[in-house]
Structure 1
Amino acid sequence: MPTGIARWKSKLFITIPRWKKGVPSTLNYIPLNCVQNCPLHPYPSWRDGYLPDSASNINSNATIVSTFRIHVDSCDRLWVVDNGVADMANEVKQITMPAIVVYNLNVNMLDERYELHDDVIMDSSVLTSIVVDVNKNCRDAYAYITDMGSNAIVVYSLSRKDSWRVEHPFFSFDPFAGSYKVGGVEFYWNDGVSSAALTGAKKDGYRNLYVHPTSSTKQFKLSTKVLKQKNVEPEDIIDAVEVVGDRGPNTQSTACDYDPCTNVLFYTQLNKNGVGCWNLDKPFHGDNVHVLVSDCTLMEFPNDVKVDADCNVWILSDRQSRFLYNTMNYSDVNYRIMSAPACMLIQGTTCENSKSRFSLKRSVRDFIN
């Protein structure tokens, strides 16, 4: 069951976590010019990407055991957070330490592998998403990883080869927002902070990181100025995290991403089988947050949303609730990836503004069945 996507030039990366046995490779790609039945290609190669069910260690430092979501940065690098665990839904087999893995996409080779240790990882940790802040040069980069299982953000400095953990009460789930009904399956989740998105640089040179727990309807933000300080005082962290607003009832979201072309934050909408938006130039409340697309077939359980370098929005739906609770019909088309230009998606909605208006005769298309 795929959970994450990211586009780089002619490649579309697709992640398949090792929920159960039988997943040959967790990090894969397809060429964008392929036909509908194009097979997934392990990345960076079959030798590095493949891992059998019987494996007790990784093939090489370029091998990923299990990843949920990924990030392509402005330096043509693919960033992956590896949980290091296989058969997550059953026996939970720890094959390697959780790690941050970075690939050079221009040459399809490993750049970095950094293992995360007990000072930042808890027994309950589930590392779901990663977003990268590149500063003056490509080596001056920070990765922010959401730890959904233990309600924290893990920060990694590439130049310093160091990592630290940031905690806040707002990173935890809202007990009043844990109920879901998706694909006819009712369930209750207590998932904490699961996704993050970076906006452009502010006057002080730092960015805002927008975060939200999955089981919540609220949006939060904090400045990267605080995140980049390893030994910041706890009270400074408490003061730094702001409540942006509330999306409203039944608006729980797994993932979000920011489009600099339109100044819009896009986010998945689980209970509504769709994708919503918010223009950062407007207050965050019910009148200014909008469900752009909603379809109980095409977008049942939208799991990831990404904005690529050309300001196109990519959406992955995967019927995860059916998969996890054993109601999946495998004769159906269950996994879809769709894309559309960000400006087209928000046209005529409250997320549009004068900066983003233009006419484009194009519809959302199914890219993969």
Structure 2
Amino acid sequence: MKVIICFIAAWMISYASTQSPNGSTIGTLYRWKQIDYQYPSPAQRQEAIDAGEFIQANVIPLGIERWKGRVFISTPRWKSGVPATLSSVPVSSQSESPELAPYPNWDWHNAVNCTGFTSIFRMSVDHCGIMWVLDSGQVEAFETPRQLCPPTLFAIDLETDTVVAKYPIPSEFVLQNSLITNLIVDSRDARCRDLHVYIADAWRFGLIVFRDSDAAFWRFSHYSFYPEPLLSNYTLHGLNYQWSDGLFGMSLGKYHLGDRPLYYHSMSGSLEFTVATSVIRDPSRVDNAVSEFTLLGESRGGDGQVSAAAVDRNGVMFFNLISRDAIGCWDTRNPYTNDNLAIVAQNNRTMIFPNDLRMDHEVPQLAWVITNRLPFYQFNLIDPLDYNYRVIYFDPAEVVEKTVCKQYI
């Protein structure tokens, strides 16, 4: 009951809410002009600033997850002066721009010799309350890139706030210039024993699979993981830039008859693909599964680049249309055609570059989105007087009303 009350309180203080095309509310839980941290004291914060350990303009929120009364946010160390790379904020904060509390504590962000966190990109929470965290091991990617530690998968117990496991990705699966940037957890039984994690390498176009039962890794390669050349040129609010990111967004379909599909796409692309998870969960298929990775349907068009995607409990996929300041939907029971895609949220002020998107495990289920104006951050064009970063949420069942994504049972 306490968690429910906290969430209702947060809902009532939602900032700058907008409307979906069907009139549903898209809530902005938090928004920031610049990110700040919860230091032990004002003096320690100032010491960090004076030492160049905290440069506020260099901090950007990237990944998001929600578990019960907290939202978890990653802040990768893409530029110098990022003091902590994973934090939490309560769902019930009374501030519209709350300070981030380094998670699970400051010690994990000040550790040396790869004993703590280096630069976390994204997280994925399984239904047993373990948050799987992807640490790139690289710092200052937008300045002078340095690979300080191997890319690593961490497991954190959210009930005890304890890091319970650490799995460096073996070097044979990390190629030169790999950008291991996204992950999704596939947990099926009630106790999360049959658990796999799927990890995307956006720059060397690979899918890495981790099996929890024996901590084994393996890697698939496929031409569908590559970017589309013409979709690697972007224009967003007058800014033109080029990215050639391949495999990035992944989402899991409904479990049926012992299997479920993995849907995936390149960031710089307009096409959606699919593969049965029974294929990628079998390491013996690494070299003989080319025909199993298939095109799902039609192109989303010239501005159809998508970052993250997620499928809700009703089987509806939601996806971030980063060149349209929008979130789209698709009922996975229908063919993947443009006639079956719809826009559920769009705003050219509050939704500039929706980057990450996750479905929580609550009842009722909610979707959570980070918008962060990433291209403007990359080129040092962020206006510190404007609200640049937002945590957005919506009810997936509500926003599909009166759209082609509505589930009719």
Same-fold call, TM > 0.5? yes
Residues 149-198 of structure 1 show CA distances to partners (whole Å, capped at 9, x for unaligned) of 11011000111111011110000101121121113211121110012111
1:110 aligns with 2:163: yes
Give the corresponding residue for 1:231.
284
SS of alignment partner, residue 323 of structure 2: coil
Give the corresponding residue for 1:164.
218
Equivalent residues in 2 for 1:183-194, closer than 5 Å: 183-194=237-248
Q: 1:25 aligns with which of 84, 97, 122?
A: 84
Shift of 1:233: 5.1
Overall identity of the aligned pairs, in %: 29
Give the corresponding residue for 1:283.
335
Give the corresponding residue for 1:212.
265
SS of alignment partner, residue 119 of structure 1: helix
Give the corresponding residue for 1:360.
none
Residues 265-306 of structure 1 show CA distances to partners (whole Å, capped at 9, x for unaligned) of 111001101111101111111111112111111001111111
Q: Give yes or no for contact 1:247–1:284 (8 Å, CA) kept in 2.
A: no
Q: Give yes or no for contact 1:248–1:286 (8 Å, CA) kept in 2.
A: no
Give the corresponding residue for 1:43.
103
Residues 335-361 of structure 1 show CA distances to partners (whole Å, capped at 9, x for unaligned) of 011111101111111111224xxxxxx
Equivalent residues in 2 for 1:332-351, closer than 5 Å: 332-351=386-405
Q: Give yes or no for contact 1:66–1:82 (8 Å, CA) kept in 2.
A: yes
Q: 1:80 aligns with which of 133, 141, 144?
A: 133
Counterpart CA distance in 2 for 1:278 and 1:170 is: 20
Q: Indicate how the Cα distance of structure 1 residues 21 and 193 shifts in structure 2: closer, same or farther if over 3 A, else same.
A: same
Q: Give yes or no for contact 2:180–2:201 (8 Å, CA) kept in 1.
A: yes
Q: Unaligned stretches of 5+ in structure 2?
A: 1-59
When the two chains are superposed, the root-mean-square deviation of aligned CA atoms in Å is 1.3
TM-score, normalization: structure 1?
A: 0.91
The amino acid across from 1:48 in the alignment is W
Give the corresponding residue for 1:155.
209
Q: Give yes or no for contact 2:253–2:332 (8 Å, CA) kept in 1.
A: no
Counterpart CA distance in 1 for 2:231 and 2:381 is: 23
Give the corresponding residue for 1:365.
none
Counterpart CA distance in 2 for 1:118 and 1:233 is: 17
Q: Give yes or no for contact 1:142–1:155 (8 Å, CA) kept in 2.
A: yes
Q: Indicate how the Cα distance of structure 1 residues 192 and 233 shifts in structure 2: closer, same or farther if over 3 A, else same.
A: closer
Q: Give yes or no for contact 1:177–1:215 (8 Å, CA) kept in 2.
A: yes
TM-score, normalization: structure 2?
A: 0.82
Aligned length in residues: 345
Give the corresponding residue for 1:322.
376
Give the corresponding residue for 2:253.
199
Counterpart CA distance in 1 for 2:147 and 2:375 is: 24
Q: 1:296 aligns with which of 348, 360, 368?
A: 348
Give the corresponding residue for 1:57.
113
The amino acid across from 2:317 in the alignment is L
Q: Indicate how the Cα distance of structure 1 residues 183 and 64 shifts in structure 2: closer, same or farther if over 3 A, else same.
A: farther
1:265 aligns with 2:325: no
The amino acid across from 1:253 in the alignment is V
Counterpart CA distance in 1 for 2:407 and 2:283 is: 38
Counterpart CA distance in 1 for 2:109 and 2:260 is: 34
Counterpart CA distance in 1 for 2:108 and 2:134 is: 16
1:253 aligns with 2:306: yes
Give the corresponding residue for 2:47.
none
SS of alignment partner, residue 283 of structure 2: coil
Counterpart CA distance in 2 for 1:22 and 1:183 is: 27
SS of alignment partner, residue 231 of structure 1: helix
1:140 aligns with 2:194: yes
Shift of 1:86: 1.0
Structure with the higher helix share, 1 or 2: 2
Equivalent residues in 2 for 1:95-106, closer than 5 Å: 95-106=148-159
Shift of 1:89: 0.9
Ranked by relative contact order (alpha carbons within 8 Å, sequence separation 6 or more), the top structure is: 2
Q: Give yes or no for contact 2:227–2:267 (8 Å, CA) kept in 1.
A: yes
1:176 aligns with 2:176: no
Q: Indicate how the Cα distance of structure 1 residues 50 and 290 shifts in structure 2: closer, same or farther if over 3 A, else same.
A: farther
